[in-house]
Chain A
């Protein structure tokens, strides 16, 4: 609850709220803190002291080295980058085009088509893994990165977002450009894309986050370690390391997978939060 008192006199209620919140936040952050500590802590093999959050002794990089040697992290990073950026580039083109059509044009069946698009919002890809895997096999894309990317090239969610974004751009801008003799290409490059930037950036952040973190679909359609992405590699890692109770290794490899996004978030926090909100609420 928000405080109702003047700032000069913090009430007892406010102090209790702060104390409770701090405790909850501490508990909430414990798994992440443990991951940070455990990834650089020298833990004797099979030791039960793994759960301690306090670092003992100087930090070590052995778990990261182990993880890097035992897994194909260089390959998995590259694959994940190709998949996330590949999906994003194609998506930006398809959603901008379709979003523009829905925002600015009138044509027969527009409303029906729009609802057909929105269907994809709920019938999210994970639920269709069985038929989609068969399609990927038929297309000869099984165990390829293209197969991992293909189902995401169209995004109803992105189209919806771009439609909203284009609607916020005053038509006057476009009209002025046309009166000034701009070609369609110039109109897109100099007027529409710059003005739609907030929408494009927000969508990019959400899309990259989603596909960097995705697991089930890449697991379904890849087979050889060379075609795995980070999350799939991590899962196979966790399963084998779990039996060996090698918690340092698990913590280090988890950090290797989640690290890039966590760092990006720390650097561009406001941008991230705004994007998630922008894309969720609008």
Chain B
């Protein structure tokens, strides 16, 4: 009940008696509207309106020279029949699976191995976390050197082991995997941080009890740690999946989607359509497809976040 009193007190900035429940709701509404207005203004301008705008644009048919010619599915037709788009769509899935699964496994293994807070472990945690702070463009700059055929870091040391040189970014069969490798290097340390936090939340007496029952470290990891870590892993997967769709800087800098669209992903495709080919209609249609994909993800993420909230309170 003190909550209700206080809410009104704040709204009016002076002590008043608590009004009836229904009235109370309405009296704080103007203040709430005032507090929410700045955020809502910018959300409307740059999140809600753009979705509607992309929708209109995607269904707008233009004649040569940009003249309005009516509405229809023309842009989507051109989009779905575009081989580059099909490739980008397939690549996004491959890139998603190829980055999220290994990153998650590496993150959990590192977190489990570095769980104890010793000086040595803290140093290693820092090393694994460092790439997180690099701009993706800077990671790409490093990648351009590491992956350079022949003289690059990777080939230089592989050659000392007797391996032949590889065209890491120039071979269409390999390029996407090189990009995937770079992404894993960049993000795994970030996900490790969440896994570490998740591990800290597991009460140690469960482990003690299992130990008394004679369970070895491997058994305890798979029977206790991993199941209790599931909510954390769900959060990581959601973050990682959103990163898959929204992070593309390294692709733009390193390959521009090539060779022969082998590293083209959705956002790079949108970027090319809008920025390089100036085909706004097709770019908008591709945006709508991505928005739909992200909304499906957001549904999952909201469920996860809600669970997190309950857990907390």
Contacts and interface: CB of A to CB of B under 8 A. Distances in A.
Nearest to A120: B47
A281 B115 CA distance: 18
A107 B42 contact: no
Contacts of B116: 2-3
Given A52-B156, A129-B270, A273-B193, A280 B135 contact: no
Nearest to B312: A282
Contact of A21 (B124, B189, B287, B290): B124
* Chain B interface residue bracket vs A: 35 or more
B135 A126 contact: no
Given A21-B113, A25-B128, A51-B151, A231 B287 contact: no
Interface string A185-203: 0010000000000000000
A247 interface: yes
B39 A95 contact: yes
A2 B294 contact: no
Interface in B216-240: 217-218, 221, 232, 235, 239
A207 B232 CA distance: 22
A174 B13 CA distance: 11
A125 B15 contact: no
Given A261-B133, A276-B193, A128 B35 contact: no
B253 A235 contact: yes
A115 interface: yes
A79 interface: no
Given A97-B35, A123-B294, A178-B15, A128 B46 contact: yes
Interface stretch (B66-74, B93-101, B171-179, B298-306): B298-306
Contacts of B305: 118
Contact of A101 (B36, B47, B297): B36
A212 B252 CA distance: 18
Given A101-B32, A130-B270, A150-B45, 8 more contacts: A106-B7, A126-B246, A130-B273, A171-B2, A175-B2, A238-B144, A257-B137, A277-B193
Interface of A: 1-4, 17-18, 21-22, 25, 28-32, 34-35, 38, 48, 50-52, 93-95, 97-98, 100-101, 104-108, 110, 113, 115-135, 150-151, 153-156, 159, 164, 167, 171, 174-175, 178-179, 183-184, 187, 209, 212-216, 219-220, 230-231, 234-235, 238-239, 242, 245, 247, 250-251, 253-254, 257-258, 261-262, 265, 269, 272-273, 276-277, 280-282
